[in-house]
Amino acid sequence: MTQSRSHSKLRVASAQAVVFAAVGLLLFWLFAITGAELRARGIETGFGFLFEPARTAIANAPFTFTPGVNSNALALIAGGLNTLKISALVIVLATVLGLGLGLGRLSRNRLLRGVCLGYIELVRNVPVLIHISLCYAVALSLPGPRETAPFMGALITNRGFFLPYPAPDMLWLASALTGVLAALGVARWRRHGGRWHPGALVFVLLTLAAMALPWLLLGRAPEMVTPAVAGFRVNGGWSLSPELIAIVAALTLYTATFLGEIIRGAIQSVPRGQWEATEALALPLRTVRRSVIYPQAIRVALPALSNEYIGVIKNSSLAVVIGYQEIVGIGNTVLFDTGQAVEVMAVLAAFFVVVSLAFSALMNFLNTRTAWASRT
Amino acid sequence: MTRFLAPTIATPRPAPQDPRQWHDRLREDLFYSPGATLATLGMLALLAFAGWHLLNWALLDAVFTGTAELSPSDACRTPGVTGACWAVIGDKLRLILFGVYPYAEQWRPAVACVLMIVLYVLSVQRRLWRPSLALIWVVFLGAVIVLMRGGVFGLSSVTDDQWGGLPVTLILSTLGLGMAFPVAILLALARQQRKLPMLQAASVGLIEFARGVPLLVVLFMASVMMPLFLPADWQISKLLRVLIAFTLFGAAYLAEVIRGGLQAIPAGQYEAAAALSLNYAQTMRDVILPQALRMVIPGIVNIFIGFFKATSIVVVVGIFDLMTAAKRAVSDPLWQNAGIEVYLFAALIYFVFCFSLSRYSARLERDLARGATN
């Protein structure tokens, strides 16, 4: 873009100076007023408060957190970990659901297309905060621990979900070992084998069969830790609080609609000539999708997907409305305990900017890996 | 020349009919293979199951009003009631729609909402896409504010901490975006100034900061930090502070959309303007911006939809919008178990606005794309 009207050097320099002076004055004004305001309220500026003991307990701390002993900084770290935990869960689950929705929208089956479109339109036109509140209301309206029967060892109650998890047992280790060996073997066969190329289903079934082999040999199943109702409480098992379930479910259901549309758009963006070329080569449909269409679609979808994923990290801050303590919720608590508004806001902003930048760097790396050299 | 042209204008023919019979179509769309048949039947069974339960819950077993003996909330809590409790909507409708606005004056927020909707309907008319549309916006939004605030024309004064419900949602999103628009144009233009790196850096810094932080953090800043930044004797109400935050936040997102439009303008347009010896302001005002903005209108509508949904986040800083009103309705001890019903009702209101806007945006995108290829 050429701006043929040539700015004289003097004009450019003076314009620069005006901008510089304006920004400088604005910052000076803000600092002068803020300083006076803070002194008037008796608030000391600085980040010293981070290392003072925290006053308020954390409801969903990922590690044992004792108020009065552990510092505000540790509280914020706990919050940051919770933010990352929600985001990671949502990104994985929403990608799976979004993939289903996106492929469903392109299915030949008209009913499936309709169901996916209906779901997407219904969910994405309602604020995510309403989804969170609704999911929370649903999670709290589940039956109590004493009114429900375990389902496959899991307890689904209004106090949260309690899932069984594997107990320390050598049999699990043996199972994992045979599973990995079988998977490696079949994968090798698929690559170098003769006439027989097992499909994905056969692959999974063979691996599962190999994992069950040690159980059959020893004649017993490995042990699990299962939750049990004791009074009004539930003991044992892997517990997920209703707040965590609500925020993860709501963000997953909401984000998946956007991911689905991105994936659909990316697949549709592959030029028709590519489909026609594969037909001319008489390639089977499965190979066409896996080797021709999807690799090109991923390249188109990745930038938009990474935007959505960063959106998930930012949206996880909405957990504050249902009282799940992620970094914004904890920052808010620290702010009210210490009054250090500017510093806490700076920490929160820095956290999100750093996480977003780190995530974009990761996605950019993936992008360069998936993108091939542009044709000349 | 004329002998290559048809002598008469051809009458348009109707679109070709689908020659397939209904059962052929059904087979080709739903039962084209054993797997598809299985999937279709499975989905039908699932839909029937879910639909039947939904019908029971939402209509057949639901409680819509109280009876002569029972108040609405008691009617919902009668043992054996398993359906939805829609009676809460009737009981709390005015609270959800208009918040704590003085009860006798609630015709004013109602009229304000109607004015806003008329404004939307006017704004989507393509023949009104002229600079004078900005004037229409100023007049309508001014009328809405006067109506809500009162204090003139014999209307009693209502301070903005008493405003609530749907009008606040509409005001925050519409006024916020309206105010963000000029800021966004300036930001987008500043970002293009390669010869003024200071200005460019300031614009990039503001845009990337606003886009990198959650709206929630920006709102917290507006509610707890902004008072520290301003002289102590400046009294700015919380609603206004949040509106300013929304304006800056929205301007950052809008600026990126507008930048997309600016970048799509071919260099020839700039060169043509320079050949006519137009200066920078004239080039932008008369040549570049009219084309660039027209191009990105679908993007602006999408930002507006996102904005409209995002206003619900003000519940966290205690502004009384539609979402807060819904939450307040549920916090009534009489209706504590009616959360699902109230939130579904609020969801319906949001859905009506967002769905119609997104349909409009999709149609517009198609029309503009068609216009571009012709």
Residues of A within 8 A of B346 (CB-CB) are 130
pLDDT digits (tens, 9 = 90+) for A194-234: 666 667 777 788 888 888 888 888 877 777 777 777 777 77
Number of domains, chain B: 1
Q: What is the pLDDT of residue A18?
A: 82
Compute the distance between CA of residue A169 and CA of residue B147 in angstroms, rounded to an integer.
Answer: 72
Would you say residue A282 lies in a domain?
Answer: yes
Percent of chain A predicted with pLDDT > 70: 92
Average pLDDT across chain A, whole number: 83
Residues A184 and A326 in one domain: no
Would you say residue A40 lies in a domain?
Answer: no
Lowest mean pLDDT among A143-157, A275-289, B104-118: A143-157
Amino acid at B285: R
Cα of B152 to nearest chain A Cα, Å: 35
Would you say residue B234 lies in a domain?
Answer: yes
Residue B373 has pLDDT above 50, yes or no: no
Number of domains, chain A: 2
Q: Are B353 and B308 in contact (CB under 8 A)?
A: yes
Residues A215 and A230 in one domain: no
Which tokens go with B360?
């409009």
Packing angle, helices B166-191 and B197-212, rounded to 10: 150
Which tokens go with A217?
């040999």
Q: What is the pLDDT of residue A98?
A: 94
Residues A315 and A179 in one domain: no
Residues A248 and A333 in one domain: yes
Instruction: State which of A115-129, B48-62, B65-79 shows the largest mean pLDDT.
Output: A115-129
Residue B284 has pLDDT above 60, yes or no: yes
Q: What are phi and psi of A162, to 5 degrees?
A: -120, 110
- Tell me if A352 and B217 make a contact (CB, 8 A cut-off): yes
CATH number at residue A116: 1.10.3720.10
Residues A90 and A229 in one domain: yes
Compute the distance between CA of residue B203 and CA of residue B206 in angstroms, rounded to an integer.
Answer: 5
- Tell me if A317 and B217 make a contact (CB, 8 A cut-off): yes
Would you say residue A41 lies in a domain?
Answer: no
Residues A238 and A268 in one domain: yes
Cβ neighbors of A318 (< 8 A, separation 6 or more) are: A128, A129, A132, A247, B214, B216, B313, B316
How many other CB atoms are there within 10 angstroms of residue B327's CB atom? 21
Which tokens go with B144?
């809405």
Instruction: State which of B84-93, B178-187, B218-227 shows the largest mean pLDDT.
Output: B178-187
Would you say residue A103 lies in a domain?
Answer: yes
CATH number at residue B269: 1.10.3720.10
Tell me the average pLDDT across B293-306.
85
For tokens 């639909």, what's the residue?
B51
B98-112 per-residue burial string, b: 16 or more CB within 10 A, e: under 16 = bbebeeebbebbbeb
Tell me the average pLDDT across B158-179.
85
Lowest mean pLDDT among A50-54, A271-275, B203-207: A50-54
Q: Which stretches of A106-198 are DSSP H helices?
A: 110-124, 128-140, 170-192
Q: What is the pLDDT of residue A8?
A: 67
- Tell me if B309 and A328 make a contact (CB, 8 A cut-off): no
Residue A376 has pLDDT above 60, yes or no: no
Tell me A225's DSSP state: E
The last residue of one of the domains, among A177, A195, A222, is A222
Compute the distance between CA of residue A87 and CA of residue A311 in angstroms, rounded to an integer.
Answer: 10
In chain B, which among 279-298 make CB contacts under 8 A with chain A? 279-280
Would you say residue B2 lies in a domain?
Answer: no
Which tokens go with A305?
């997907």
Residue A132 has pLDDT above 90, yes or no: yes
Compute the distance between CA of residue A286 and CA of residue A294 in angstroms, rounded to an integer.
Answer: 11
Compute the distance between CA of residue A18 and CA of residue A21 in angstroms, rounded to an integer.
Answer: 5
| Residue A252: band (very low, low, confident or very high) from pLDDT cuts 50, 70, 90 | very high
Q: What is the pLDDT of residue A2?
A: 44
- Gyration radius of chain B over CA positions: 27
Would you say residue A286 lies in a domain?
Answer: yes
Q: Greater confidence, A260 or A226?
A: A260
Q: What is the three-class DSSP state of A235?
A: strand
The last residue of one of the domains, among A203, A222, A241, is A222
**Mutation target among A111, A136, A254, A333 for the B interface, most CBs of B within 10 A:** A111
Q: Are B120 and B139 in contact (CB under 8 A)?
A: no
Cα of A34 to nearest chain B Cα, Å: 5
Residues A173 and A316 in one domain: no
Residues A352 and A244 in one domain: yes
Length of chain B equals 374
Cα of A251 to nearest chain B Cα, Å: 14
Which tokens go with B204?
């990039």
Query: A47: number of CA atoms within 13 Å, CB side?
Result: 7
Give the structural domain span for A190.
168-222
Compute the distance between CA of residue A35 and CA of residue A50 in angstroms, rounded to an integer.
Answer: 20
Residue A361 has pLDDT above 70, yes or no: yes
Tell me the average pLDDT across A14-26.
80
Tell me the average pLDDT across B290-315.
86
Q: Greater confidence, A232 or A119?
A: A119
Compute the distance between CA of residue A46 and CA of residue B18 in angstroms, rounded to an integer.
Answer: 74
Q: What are phi and psi of A151, to 5 degrees?
A: -115, 110
Q: What is the three-class DSSP state of A36?
A: helix
Give the structural domain span for B303.
93-373
The closest of B342, B242, B257 to B304, measured between CA atoms, is B257
What ipTM was assigned to the predicted interfaces of this complex? 0.84
Residue A3 has pLDDT above 50, yes or no: no
Residues of A within 8 A of B343 (CB-CB) are 130, 133-134, 137
Instruction: State which of A77-86, B68-77, B96-105 shows the largest mean pLDDT.
Output: A77-86
Q: Closest partner residue to A125 among B215, B339, B355, by Cβ?
A: B355
Residues of B within 8 A of A315 (CB-CB) are 214
Query: B25: number of CA atoms within 13 Å, CB side?
Result: 8
Strand partners, A235: A228
Q: What is the pLDDT of residue A93?
A: 96
Residue B372 has pLDDT above 60, yes or no: no
Would you say residue A128 lies in a domain?
Answer: yes
Would you say residue B177 lies in a domain?
Answer: yes
B35 to chain A: nearest residue by CA? A109
- Tell me if A321 and B316 make a contact (CB, 8 A cut-off): yes
Residues A247 and A195 in one domain: no
Residues A217 and A253 in one domain: no
Residues A204 and A259 in one domain: no
Residues A233 and A325 in one domain: yes
pLDDT digits (tens, 9 = 90+) for A60-91: 777 777 777 788 888 899 899 999 999 999 99
**Mutation target among A33, A125, A262 for the B interface, most CBs of B within 10 A:** A125
Q: What is the pLDDT of residue A263?
A: 93
